[in-house]
Amino acid sequence: MGIISRLKNTSHLSGFRGLVARVLRHTANRIDCVDTNETKRANEFLAWVRFAVPGMLSQGNVDAMEYAIANMPPGKPILEIGSFCGLSTVVLSYLLQKLAKTTPVFSCDKWEFEGQQLGALLGDSPTMTHDAYQAYVRDTFLRTMKTFAANGLPYTIECFSDEFFRRWFENEETVDLFGRAVTLGGTIGFCYIDGNHTYEFAKRDFDNSDRALVSGGFILFDDSADGSKWEVNRLTREIASGHEYELVSRNPNYLFRKK
């Protein structure tokens, strides 16, 4: 089953959750039995990554990312809003290498979470704090990138998306999370939006992304599937009813192409 067929298929894989590691290869090969050997090896790599890296990423998102990267305008950067422990960032880096693309990836995350109470204990744990949890996730992201994306590190800016876009549109010179100097700004070819899922925040992320996105570029919204409890689905349905973007797929999340 090719990438286009998978994009049109509304079903998606769970990332092999619940399986034990000793049957990993068998499962990956069984699921991809009609793919090429190269695709089998690729999916096996991502299956191993999913066992090691915390996060939730549907196979539909992976398919949508691959389609967007393969068809986005050449030479334009990719932007990811919200990285958590780096699972989706690894996928973006991997797909760029798989498709022989050299465009850079920019990402932003502040690693501050809904319901977080810095200085307080985490739930009923007598020792674990919200501060330690935040530090763990941030450190896990760094380790994930250095382990699974060493040849394609993103330019990660530690800030909320509103601040990131302000700095982006001001062409700010800054230093990323890996200690590299970088100048922000310019146009982008693909944006993966996985930040705050409320309508207000998702709308601002979309408006800012749209401002930077070139014609023919793509936007993918995580957790935007019809029936989702998140307000981002309200936004994606509004975009789909407009005339500025083409709805490429709902697999189950919305992928758009700018006209």
Nearest CA to 154 out of 182, 195, 133, 193 is that of: 182
Spatial separation of the C-alpha atoms in residues 217 and 48, rounded to whole Å: 30
Q: Which residues, including other chains, have CB under 8 Å from residue 121's CB and lie 6 or more apart?
A: 127, 128, 129, 130
As a whole number, mean pLDDT of residues 45-74 equals 95
Angle at 109 between CA 238 and CA 139, to 5 degrees: 145
Residue 42: which pLDDT band, with cuts at 50, 70 and 90? Answer: low
As a whole number, mean pLDDT of residues 85-93 equals 97
Instruction: For 54-258, give the CATH class.
Output: alpha beta
DSSP bridge pairs for 250: 254
pLDDT in tens, 193-233: 999 999 999 999 999 999 999 999 999 999 999 999 999 99
**Category of 177 on φ-ψ map: left (φ > 0), alpha (ψ -120 to 50) or beta:** alpha
pLDDT of residue 41: 57
This prediction has a pTM of 0.84
pLDDT in tens, 165-187: 999 999 999 999 999 999 999 99
